[in-house]
């Protein structure tokens, strides 16, 4: 019998994520400035922190979209510093963007994403039904959908793909109450099936109820782990400063940032 949501009871204790002093750059700014994080398979982890803390960057790094240039970064057993492409088929990312094609219909978008990921389309119908997309919305071009409906389509893609690692960046944003409830149920089901979920959310009550563990990131570093804390403006200016006002990074990070070898768009 599966354990409570977010726990690792009944699922493999293998590490889904292992980051050690991981550094990732956005331009010359260290978006991740030495992240240390372990997430076990089957965990639901809430990533919280103020705007600009590095939540999105960490999720994109986990998905292999943002290169990690220093430290250790392993996701689902893949060393992202050696090869960040091979992990992508095992990862589902719901970001600020939905990754959908405006001119394609809902069903065409989902079918393309599922086929592209190499997953079978056995869960496609179920995913569309769960997300309420199997009715009149099925053949509607995505360009005609509302923001919340687009978000549901993007979520349906992940549900249909059933990846090992779900990376959800503000997943509740733009969704109505019913859709948020569906999202929470979907996330719990996925975790019960053994998937690992890392979500970043400012919907504090919902997200903490969902997650078994809360990790706080600030200034590109993990500053708190294991217990939920309220997101407040940090007193340390190093924590919340925007990129252009950020203080000097640690020496090792600054060395990497100075490297002419690494260029990140």
User: Quick check: 118 binds another protein (CB under 8 A)?
Assistant: yes
Which residue, 75, 80, 35, 81, is CA-closest to 55?
Answer: 35
Q: Are 27 and 1 in contact (CB under 8 A)?
A: no
In degrees and rounded to multiples of 5, residue 206 shows phi and psi of -65, -45
Please tell me the distance from the alpha carbon of residue 74 to that of residue 65, in angstroms, as a whole number. 14
Q: 138, 204, 194: which is closest to 170 by C-alpha?
A: 204
Rounded CA separation 221/246 (Å): 13
**Cα dihedral angle (186, 231, 39, 170), rounded to 10 degrees?**
40
At closest approach, how far in Å is the CB of 251 from another protein?
28
Counting contacts by CB under 8 A, is residue 83 touching another protein?
Answer: no
Q: Minimum distance from CB of 95 to another protein (Å)? A: 6
Residue 155 is a binding residue for another protein (CB under 8 A): no
Could you say whether residue 144 binds another protein (CB under 8 A)? no
Q: Which of 36, 72, 79, 112 binds another protein (CB under 8 A)?
A: 112
- Binder of another protein out of 2, 3, 132, 141 (CB under 8 A): 141
Q: Is 95 in the site for another protein (CB under 8 A)?
A: yes
| Identified binder of another protein from the candidate list 26, 104, 231, 254, rule CB under 8 A | 104
| CA dist., res. 231 & res. 163, Å (int) | 29
Smallest gap from Cβ 93 to another protein, in A, equals 6
Query: At closest approach, how far in Å is the CB of 189 from another protein?
Result: 22
Residues 205-224 that bind another protein (CB under 8 A): none
Nearest distance from residue 45's CB to another protein, in Å?
20
Residue 120 in contact with another protein, rule: CB under 8 A: no
**Given the complex with another protein, which of 91 and 199 has the nearer CB atom?**
91
Question: Is residue 28 a contact point for another protein (CB under 8 A)?
Answer: no
How far apart are the C-alpha atoms of 119 and 61, rounded to whole Å?
A: 22
Output the DSSP codes for 236-250.
SHHHH--GGGPPPPP
Binding mask 63-82 for another protein (x = CB under 8 A): xxx-----------------
What's the closest the beta carbon of residue 60 comes to another protein, in angstroms? 8
Kindly state the number of chain residues that form the binding site for another protein, as judged by CB under 8 A: 29
149 is a site residue for another protein (CB under 8 A): no
Q: Report the Cα–Cα distance between both ends of the chain, in Å, rounded.
A: 46
> Do 218 and 239 form a contact (C-beta atoms < 8 A)?
yes
Closer to another protein by CB, 20 or 138: give it. 138
Radius of gyration of the chain (CA): 18
Residue 100 in the binding site for another protein (CB under 8 A): yes
Give me the residue label for tokens 């403006």: 233
């Amino acid at each position: 019998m599966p354990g409570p949501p977010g726990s690792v009871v009944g699922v493999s204790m293998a590490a889904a994520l292992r980051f050690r002093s991981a550094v990732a750059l956005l331009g010359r700014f260290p978006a991740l400035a030495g992240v240390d994080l372990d997430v076990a398979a089957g965990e639901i982890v809430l990533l919280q922190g103020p705007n600009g803390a590095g939540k999105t960057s960490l999720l994109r790094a986990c998905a292999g979209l943002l290169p990690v240039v220093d430290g250790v970064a392993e996701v689902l057993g893949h060393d992202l510093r050696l090869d960040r492409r091979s992990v992508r088929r095992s990862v589902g990312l719901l970001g600020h963007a939905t990754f959908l094609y405006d001119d394609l219909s809902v069903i065409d978008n989902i079918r393309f994403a599922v086929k592209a990921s190499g997953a079978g389309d056995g869960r496609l119908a179920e995913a569309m039904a769960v997300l309420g997309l199997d009715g009149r919305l099925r053949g509607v071009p995505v360009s005609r959908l509302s923001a919340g409906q687009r978000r549901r389509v993007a979520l349906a893609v992940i549900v249909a793909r059933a990846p090992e690692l779900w990376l959800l960046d503000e997943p509740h944003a733009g969704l109505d109450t019913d859709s948020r409830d569906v999202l929470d149920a979907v996330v719990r089901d996925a975790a019960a099936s053994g998937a690992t979920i890392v979500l970043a959310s400012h919907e504090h009550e919902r997200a903490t109820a969902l997650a078994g563990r809360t990790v706080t990131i600030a200034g590109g570093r993990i500053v708190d782990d294991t217990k939920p804390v309220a997101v407040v403006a940090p007193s340390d200016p190093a924590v919340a400063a925007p990129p252009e006002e950020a203080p000097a990074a640690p020496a090792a990070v600054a060395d990497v940032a100075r490297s002419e070898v690494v260029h990140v768009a």
